[in-house]
Amino acid sequence: MTFLENPLYIKDMRDTIDVPLPWDKLNGARILITGAGGLISSFLVDCLMYRNSVHKANISVHALCRNEEKARKRFGSYEKNENFYLIIQDVCDSLNSNLDFDYIIHAASNAHPLAYATAPVETMKANLLGSINLLEYAKKHKIKKFMFISSSEIYGQNDSSADKHLTEDYSGYINCAELRAAYPESKRVSETLCTAYKKEYGVNTVVVRPGHIYGSAMTEENSRADAQFIRNAIDGVDIVMKSAGNQLRSYCYVSDAVSAIFYVLLLGEDGGAYNIANKNSMVTIRELAEILSDISKVKVVFENPNDVEKSGYSIVGNIVMDARRLENLGWEARHNIKSGLMRTIGILKS
């Protein structure tokens, strides 16, 4: 059974496209999504294509991916659909298209610890060169809106205690001399590029900062703790923790995260930044492991990480994000941490 045949996955798509938004703004639009094979972006593609099938929205969805084999495997069911276009290229190269896109959603980036440790240069290039190339295109073609998918990691090391929620105007400390900084620093600079292109050239830009997003469309190479835990739970093997897991994190189920992206795309203030976090899904890494352990009836065990793994780990303590700016647009999450994890496992097991 593929995702698009799975009843739970279909319901996730239906719930996402049925939120009360001015969807008519997207009718007939051309939308470019970079890094389209990722967890968030692939579900975003599916939702737009599902909206086309249900509401005859006639949205042209252009999915930009670097790896053709993986892209065709993920999006093969759309190959003959007249509203779907697959673009195979590296986002670090100038955009190979003469189309006038209405919206660009830049989601291309390495987004897991092992990649930060083994490919820091490529991580930075996707964010920096990718953003410059796409913003130049947006300036030239006068697109309606450019969205940059940033990260909660831009908050860096902070003085956040368990009861302090980080707002969008907070700025923590990042040691730029550390290898691990390749990801958050390039995200930060890309956000500044968005601000600069808006101020200097009038490009309508908006930024979203997802917390820890999880869901069934996670990629096989994803080395984040939550992805590893979920794979272990599905396989029925022990969940391996490589730290005490006391760090508090803001988690959000992927369908809730994508509905948030639509809220910001259609209602967000130009030039604004918005946290994506679920106030009902703020747990420690250990608590996450224990919830999955309870759902799948497996054990939680502890193991020391190797040097490569340690070099990619975040040393940040608590990252508890304040999503009131997003909620003020009318957004609300449907799933708490347990229901989201149960849904993820239910889809992947079937």
pLDDT digits (tens, 9 = 90+) for 100-130: 899 999 999 887 677 777 888 998 999 999 9
Does the pLDDT of residue 163 top 70, yes or no? Answer: no
Q: Which pair of structure tokens corresponds to residue 319?
A: 């990252």
> Does 53 or 1 have the greater pLDDT score?
53
Question: Average pLDDT, stretch 320-344?
Answer: 96
Residues 24, 55 contacting (CB under 8 angstroms): no
pLDDT digits (tens, 9 = 90+) for 165-219: 899 999 888 888 888 789 899 999 999 999 999 999 999 999 999 999 999 988 6
Eight-class DSSP state of 238 = P
pLDDT digits (tens, 9 = 90+) for 264-302: 999 999 999 999 999 999 999 999 999 999 999 999 888
Q: Taking the CA atoms of 35, 36, 42 and 44 in sequence, report the sign of the dihedral they define.
A: positive
pLDDT above 90 as % of the chain: 72
Residue pointed to by tokens 């086309």: 52
Ordered by start, the domain boundaries in the chain are 3-218+251-279+319-335
Residues 267, 327 contacting (CB under 8 angstroms): no
Q: Residues with Cβ < 8 Å from 217, sequence gap 6 or more?
A: 3, 39, 42, 43, 254
List strand residue ranges (DSSP E) for 150-211, in order.
Answer: 205-210
pTM of the model: 0.93
Task: Give me the CATH code for the 3-218+251-279+319-335 domain, please.
Answer: 3.40.50.720
Q: 312: pLDDT confidence band, cut at 50, 70 and 90? A: very low
pLDDT above 70 as % of the chain: 92
Residue 70 CB: number of other CB atoms within 10 A? 14
- How far apart CA 222 and CA 215 sit, in angstroms, is 12
